[in-house]
Amino acid sequence: MLAKFFQIFSGSSKAHGVSRGRPGDPAAGEAPKSDKNTHEDDRARMSQEVEQSFIGLLLGVHSLENGEMSSFEKSFLASAKKIYLGDSMPEALLPRMPMVVPRAMQALRHNDTNASELAKILSSDIVLVSDLIRLSNSAFYARGKSLNSVEDAIVNIGFKGIRQLVIGAAMKPILSASVGHLIKISSRYLWDTSMRAGLLSDAVAAKMNENRFHAYLASMTAYTGMAVLIQHLDHHFNDHEVPRTRAFMSALNRFAAEVTVRISQQWELPEAVIRAQQEQFTVMSPYAMTTLGQITYHTGMLVKVRTLKANGLSPAKLTIDSLGMGSRLSEVYAQLEAEHLALE
């Protein structure tokens, strides 16, 4: 349940209560004026520690080192920068969506698309059809009778469910790769983190009357760049020099965010989604991000902290306030906690 996300924080009634708001309270993207600098410094330190520790977890390194990067770390970053962040990234290195996914996403953007038209598109992918039928007959969607036709299954789970199914089908082979030592370690965390972040962002967007699909999509695809770079790291890995400096983790995190945007642009994801992902490394403060950027940032932070705690790693003591949310976002996350939204 969502409450598990909040149990990781050193809670106070202020942090967990639902604020009704007062005239002059900061909005979703506005920092409290009197404490802005303190909040920003605390948030930046906390964010850096969480990001470094999370990437350490992805690489199987639980004890990070301070100091300069090793020659191996520098060599890898130079290679990654040249290949993936040059003027043009080779198309052959871009992860590919299943052919049906862009067609399905395009159809789902139009309000006049009906279940019959969508069924024709999805039916060309047998794996997707199998997942669709299984989801429609699951306990969450079951209506008392087994559904075996694609069209009936689409009607049953609705277009929102189809959107999430289609994006999940596109992302799973990218985030759950099993070739290479490091990607084997990281893939289960990448997939689990992406799924949880996508669902939580969807729920937050619904509360804030934002575009739910954009919120889900921005968080669900946020780790494509990391998956690509970890697979590249596997090609350099020699079983001896494991990256373990904090400086390397921070650099890898920044590179991965940039590669994610390049992939999203290649996939022609909605402009609002690409902008939210760009803001994760071009805008220093979440207060200055778009609302979608803020949702992507805060949800990602919550899910990563939860993952670290679940694996016995303890980043700095946190409160909801230290995440740097405005009052509206704090209220929304607290409301979701109170409603015990199921995310398991």
Tokens of 244: 């373990």
328 within domain boundaries: yes
What distance in Å separates the CA atoms of residue 134 and residue 136, rounded to the nearest whole number? Answer: 6
Amino acid at 333: Y
CA distances from 275 to 177, 240, 269, 296, 319 (A): 27, 39, 10, 11, 28
125 within domain boundaries: no
Determine the 3-state secondary structure of 220 from DSSP: helix
Q: Is the dihedral of CA 334, 335, 339, 344 positive or negative?
A: negative
pTM over 0.75: yes
**What is the tally of structural domains in the chain?**
1
CA distances from 192 to 3, 47, 80, 120, 164 (A): 17, 20, 25, 30, 14
What distance in Å separates the CA atoms of residue 282 and residue 279, rounded to the nearest whole number? Answer: 5
Per-residue pLDDT at 128: 80
What distance in Å separates the CA atoms of residue 330 and residue 269, rounded to the nearest whole number? Answer: 28
Q: Can you give the residue range of the structural domain that contains 205?
A: 3-95+178-338
Phi and psi at 239, nearest 5°, equal 70, 5
- The one-digit pLDDT tens for each residue of the chain (344 residues) are 455 555 554 343 333 333 333 333 344 555 555 455 666 777 788 889 899 999 999 999 988 999 999 999 999 999 999 999 988 777 777 777 767 777 887 787 776 778 888 888 888 877 788 888 887 777 666 666 666 788 888 888 888 888 888 888 778 878 877 678 888 889 889 999 998 999 899 989 999 999 988 999 999 999 999 999 998 998 887 777 789 999 999 999 999 999 999 999 988 888 999 999 999 999 988 889 999 999 999 999 889 988 998 898 876 666 656 666 777 787 887 777 776 543 33
What distance in Å separates the CA atoms of residue 238 and residue 240, rounded to the nearest whole number? Answer: 5
102 within domain boundaries: no
Per-residue pLDDT at 46: 84
Per-residue pLDDT at 167: 84
What distance in Å separates the CA atoms of residue 341 and residue 78, rounded to the nearest whole number? Answer: 43
